[in-house]
């Protein structure tokens, strides 16, 4: 009996690769016997059932993978939105919770310019600090001031903050020299480079009485000389001060 | 309320002027050390004046009470003391009075633009500009300069330097006075100029001449402490 369902047989052959006839037949489309065809069909059925179960498992795994990926996508989108909101807020453009956050493509150029601006500000700050230090050092040297003491007094009296604010002014050099000159006038202790020898004993001076001004000398003195003599104590005898 | 003592009454004579001086001193920030130095000298002199009278009066009292010395000798010492104090109370205020125009001049120097820190090449350019601007105006050199002064700080700096002095010659004082008037009325300038402008306004309000007079009077008042009361004026 010839196998009449030739198309079904071809289909089975395609689904189940291999020799259905056990390698005895040279033409796979031509089963030798009906039993052989039944046997091949039963094998094909079992193979089909295995393939079906494998396909179901694969579909199940694929479904799990899809769900997992979707979960990751949703999670990533939420974290990205939080990050975008935060970055936008840091850039000075806060986003409301119910509003759509800006995309990263929009944020990147703004972030870049902000970072560059911060760098420029930082560099400007360094330049200002350097300029302040240089001008102060030059002025300390020019005015023969003790650098550490003068710097400390500038800080304690609040001059340093004012000078830091004035660094960009065109007359900054004049401001520094004026401030330091006034400081030296009000506080003579800051004068002197501090590198020279320090006197540990009182300087030798002639007795005060030897320098006292007499009536005759007073009469011949100019007002400025009298003023100086008064401040230096040379008029004490004339004034009855013991 | 207890009546004020003699010392308190004399101190009251200088209280107002001392407050004005303190207010003026507060304005002398950022005007230059030379101004500060001159003011310190001035205020130190004023502060010393009442003490001169007080110490001399105390010495006179001590001489009167000191019976260990002959009377003639004590009288001679008293006369010498009075004579010396009188000279000192004349000459010391004169020195203080001399400080006032110096202070004013220094503050005016701070108010006016200064070319000392300008690059020599820039100064040369400014002088050329100034020369061109002056030649475009009619009149004598002083008239030309007076029309220009107060318009441009760079030009003013040159006009008020030795270059300007050479341009206007003996009229330089008049030009400087004109520049001071113009720069007093302005609001801009460097920090030193702005501070000097405030200090100049404060100088007028401080009335330093009055402060000198008050302190001299306080010194003389101390000297009259033990003087006999003046005779009652007859009606």
Nearest-5° Cα angle at A193, A190 to A198:
90
Using CA atoms, how far residue A86 sits from A77, A107, B222, in Å, is 14, 11, 78
Give yes or no for A158 touching B (CB within 8 A).
no
- H-type alpha helices, A101-171: 104-142, 147-156, 159-165
pLDDT digits 0-9 by tens, A60-85: 999 999 999 988 887 777 888 888 88
* Spatial CA neighbour of A242 closest among B56, B115, B230, B152: B56
* Cβ–Cβ < 8 Å for A186, B36: yes
Contact indicator for B160, B112 with CB cutoff of 8 Å = yes
Q: Helix axis angle, B71-111 relative to B191-206, nearest 10°?
A: 140
* In chain A, where the domains are located: 6-65, 112-190, 210-242
Whether the CB-CB separation of B21 and B203 falls below 8 Å is answered with: no
Closest listed residue to residue A37, CA positions, set A10, A57, A77:
A10
Q: At what angle do helices A104-142 and A172-186 cross, to 10 degrees?
A: 50
For B84, which of A175, A218, A223 is closest by C-beta distance? A218
- Name the helix (H) or strand (E) containing B82: helix B71-111
Q: What is the ipTM of this complex?
A: 0.79
pLDDT at position A28: 55
Instruction: With a cut of 70, say whether residue A16 has pLDDT above it.
Output: no
Q: How far is CA A33 from CA A9, A23, A25, A230, B40, in A?
A: 13, 14, 10, 148, 135
How far is the CA of B213 from the CAs of B22, B60, B97, in angstroms?
17, 24, 10
Nearest to A175 among B60, B81, B191 (CB): B191
φ and ψ of A145, to 5 deg: -105, 155
Show pLDDT as tens, one digit a residue, over chain B (235 residues). Answer: 567 787 788 888 889 999 999 999 999 988 988 999 999 999 999 999 999 998 888 888 888 888 898 888 988 998 899 899 999 999 999 999 999 999 999 999 999 998 887 888 999 999 999 999 999 999 999 999 999 999 899 999 999 999 999 998 889 999 999 999 999 999 888 889 999 999 999 998 999 999 999 999 999 998 887 665 555 555 5
Structure-model confidence comparison of residues A28 and B178, the more confident one: B178
- A178/B contact by beta carbon, under 8 A: yes
Per CB-CB distance under 8 Å, the chain A contacts of B32 are 178, 181-182
Q: What percent of chain A has pLDDT over 90?
A: 19
Supply the DSSP string of A51-67, one letter for each residue.
HHHHHHHHHHHHHHHHH
pLDDT per residue as tens digits for the range A158-216 = 888 888 888 888 888 888 988 898 888 888 888 886 555 666 677 776 655 567 888 88
Taking the C-alpha atoms of residue A203 and residue A240, their distance in angstroms, rounded to an integer, is 27
**Chain B residues within an 8 Å CB radius of A166:** 191
Q: Tell me whether residues A238 and B88 touch, CB distance under 8 A.
A: yes
Look at A241 and B85 and tell me if their CB atoms are within 8 Å.
no
Those of residues 179-198 in A touching chain B at CB distance below 8 A are 179, 181-182, 184-186
CA torsion B12-B17-B23-B27 (nearest 10°) is -160
Is pLDDT of A22 > 50? no
- Residue A171 touches chain B, beta carbons under 8 Å: yes
Average pLDDT, chain A: 81
- Which chain A residues are within 8 Å of B41, Cβ to Cβ? 227, 231
Is the CB of residue A173 less than 8 Å away from at least one CB of chain B? yes
Interface contact flag, A239 B36, Cβ < 8 Å: no
Distance, in Å, from the CA atom of A135 to the CA atom of A57, rounded to the nearest integer, reads 80
Q: Can you give A63-81 as a three-state secondary structure string?
A: HHHHHHHHHHHHHHHHHHH
* Residue ranges covered by each domain of chain B: 10-113+196-223, 120-188
Residues B132 and B106: beta-carbon distance below 8 Å: no
**Contact present, A101 and A94 (Cβ < 8 Å):** no
Q: Which two tokens stand for residue A129?
A: 């600090």
User: Is B190 in Cβ contact with A174 (below 8 Å)?
Assistant: yes
């Amino acid at each position: 009996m010839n196998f009449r369902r030739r198309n079904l047989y071809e289909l089975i052959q395609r689904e189940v690769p291999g020799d259905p006839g056990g390698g005895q037949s040279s033409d796979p489309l031509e089963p030798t016997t009906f039993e052989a065809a039944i046997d091949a069909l039963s094998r094909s059925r079992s193979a089909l059932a295995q393939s079906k179960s494998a396909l179901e498992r694969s579909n199940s795994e694929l479904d799990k993978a899809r769900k997992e990926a979707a979960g990751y996508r949703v999670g990533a989108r939420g974290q990205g939105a939080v990050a975008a909101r935060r970055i936008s807020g840091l850039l000075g453009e806060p986003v409301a919770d119910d509003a759509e956050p800006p995309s990263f493509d929009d944020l990147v150029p703004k972030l870049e310019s902000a970072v560059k601006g911060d760098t420029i500000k930082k560099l400007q700050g360094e330049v200002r600090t350097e300029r302040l230090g240089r001008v102060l050092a030059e002025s300390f040297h020019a005015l023969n001031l003790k650098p550490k003491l003068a710097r400390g007094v500038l800080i304690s009296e609040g001059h340093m903050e004012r000078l830091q604010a004035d660094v960009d002014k065109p007359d900054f050099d004049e401001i520094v020299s004026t401030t330091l000159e006034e400081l030296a006038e009000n506080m003579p202790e800051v004068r002197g480079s501090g590198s020279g020898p320090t006197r540990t004993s009182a300087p030798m001076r002639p007795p005060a009485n030897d320098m006292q001004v007499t009536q005759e000398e007073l009469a011949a003195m100019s007002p400025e000389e009298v003023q100086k003599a008064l401040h230096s104590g040379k008029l004490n005898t004339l004034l009855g001060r013991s | 309320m207890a009546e004020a003592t003699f010392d308190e009454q004399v101190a009251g004579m200088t209280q107002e002027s001392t407050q004005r001086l303190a207010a003026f001193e507060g304005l002398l920030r950022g005007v230059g050390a030379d101004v500060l130095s001159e003011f310190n000298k001035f205020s130190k002199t004023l502060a010393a004046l009442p003490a001169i009278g007080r110490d001399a009066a105390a010495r006179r009292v001590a001489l009167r009470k000191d019976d260990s010395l002959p009377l003639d000798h004590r009288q001679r010492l008293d006369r010498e003391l009075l004579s010396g104090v009188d000279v000192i109370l004349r000459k010391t205020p004169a020195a203080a009075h001399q400080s006032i125009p110096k202070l004013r001049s220094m503050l005016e120097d701070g108010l006016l633009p200064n070319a000392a820190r300008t690059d020599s090449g820039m100064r040369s350019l400014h002088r050329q500009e100034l020369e061109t601007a002056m030649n475009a105006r009619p009149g004598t050199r002083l008239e030309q300069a007076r029309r220009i002064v107060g318009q441009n700080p760079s030009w003013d700096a040159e006009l008020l330097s030795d270059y300007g002095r050479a341009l206007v010659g003996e009229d330089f004082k008049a030009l400087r006075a004109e520049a001071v008037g113009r720069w007093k009325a302005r609001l801009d300038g460097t920090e030193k100029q702005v501070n000097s402008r405030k200090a100049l306004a404060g100088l007028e309000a401080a009335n330093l001449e009055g402060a000198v007079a008050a302190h001299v009077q306080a010194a003389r008042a101390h000297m009259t402490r033990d003087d006999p009361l003046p005779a009652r004026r007859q009606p």
